[in-house]
Structure 1
Amino acid sequence: MNQFRLPLQRPDGARKDEFIVGHANARVVHHLEHWGAWPVMAALLVGPRKSGRSLLARLFSKRAEGRMIDDAHRVAEAEIFHAWNLAQADRKPLLIVADHAPPEWTVRLPDLRSRLAATPVLRIEEPDDALFAALLRDQFDRRELFAGEELIGWILKRVDRTYLSLVRVVDALDDAAHDADRRRISIPLARPALQARGLLVQGAGEPRREKA
């Protein structure tokens, strides 16, 4: 795993602007690092919520001195249309962040629809085991929770490997640690905490999928 960071000096321990790169998002990061070769000065960044897509867009827009529109499916279409045109005129990249790309995201303005059809789509996928484990370690570290590799492996086998599930797992364990007045997370502490919130995989079949 590596991290996509702003080329700026920050105080030691300042980690809010780090983005962990793994198989699920490596192609997206590669595309962003080579924005000068884009066919148009815009790209659509889509992916699951809690996947770090907004953070990645902020890092990119600062590094490339470009612009970003977050939650674009909630933004006025005329605003996106004008931003897209401006990006072509001043050659500053525009990153449009949304849950989905058209046609799943319904765009009614014909001129915007045609421009988005010509815009590359960058898609963050759900995490694989390696990225999920790296994100768990990172989140535990940020919250000053100690979780050994045995616990990480135990969690990987028992929860849905989605970004949303990961956030809920860490929240549950952080609350359990607070209630127990300790910062070390053990399996005996984790099991009832995750069971109580319905986060453990049920049965021996495929994991149940969480709803946003």
Structure 2
Amino acid sequence: MSQIPLDLPHRAALDREAFFVSASNAEALAMVEAWHDWPAGKLALTGAGGSGKTHLAHVWAAGTGGVVVNAVDLTDADLPGMVDAGAVAVEDVDHLAAMANPRPAEAALFHLHNMLAGAGGKLLVTGKNAPSRWRLTTPDLASRLQAAGIATLGAPDDALIHAVIVKIATDRQLDLDPRLPPFLALRLDRSLASIADALAELDRQALAEQRRVTVPFARQVLSL
């Protein structure tokens, strides 16, 4: 008999130890960790969905004593308090373009940028593409963010895909057959977001059927 799986949240490990370094992200990591030397105290971190931007933003915040906030939440954020932290990571700035009225959030980001600059603080902003493609409606904000240096997380290589499969499985406390990571690495779409979706489905089905996640099970569930 199968059980109804509860959609329980799982906590992803976002510390530096859990950030696997490979050829696809080493350069971006080095630029983020060199935050003392950022020109004008700001950097844009770019990469596809699931490429590790959130993880790296949290690694940076932990190393600087800073804070992480999503761009769409800035209108309700304590901007002076964040400035007092001295370092702020603003995630998904490119998502502001999808808001019905992005101007309040853009205004908050503009003020945060200027307050941090005046206080000698550091600003990390993230998005899928370079700031020049973020379709911001506030020209002064757009020009300031386009002046930031850019660190790009590249397409994941084999080593990173394998490590991400193991990491997500560990985060979800999945009992994986050791043959499964290389099997999945060769067959799943080479997108970290797709890998996360696949592991989530395996987790859900394994809970429902009280099964261990093996190669035959994954082949069946994911139609591989």
Matched residue, 1:174:
203
Aligned-pair identity in percent equals 32
**Quick one: distance in 1 between partners of 2:48 and 2:219?**
26
Matched residue, 2:33:
33
Which runs of 5 or more residues in structure 1 are unaligned?
1-13, 201-212
Matched residue, 1:103:
132
Code of the aligned partner of 1:119: A
Deviation at 1:99, TM superposition (A): 2.5
Correspondences of 1:28-177 after superposition (within 5 Å) = 28-65=28-65, 66-73=87-94, 74=96, 76-177=105-206
The answer to whether the Cα contact below 8 Å between 2:14 and 2:58 also exists between their aligned partners in 1 is no
**Quick one: distance in 2 between partners of 1:100 and 1:15?**
25
Taking a change above 3 Å as real, the CA distance of residues 26 and 178 of structure 1, as seen in their structure-2 partners, is same
SS of aligned partner of 2:20? strand
SS of aligned partner of 1:21? coil
Code of the aligned partner of 2:24: A
Higher relative contact order (CA 8 A, sep 6+): 2
Deviation at 1:194, TM superposition (A): 0.3
Q: TM-score, normalised by structure 1?
A: 0.77
Q: TM-score, normalised by structure 2?
A: 0.73
Taking a change above 3 Å as real, the CA distance of residues 144 and 102 of structure 1, as seen in their structure-2 partners, is closer
Code of the aligned partner of 1:185: V
Deviation at 1:179, TM superposition (A): 2.6
Deviation at 1:32, TM superposition (A): 1.4
**Quick one: distance in 2 between partners of 1:158 and 1:41?**
41
Which runs of 5 or more residues in structure 2 are unaligned?
1-11, 66-86, 97-101
Matched, 1:186 2:214: yes
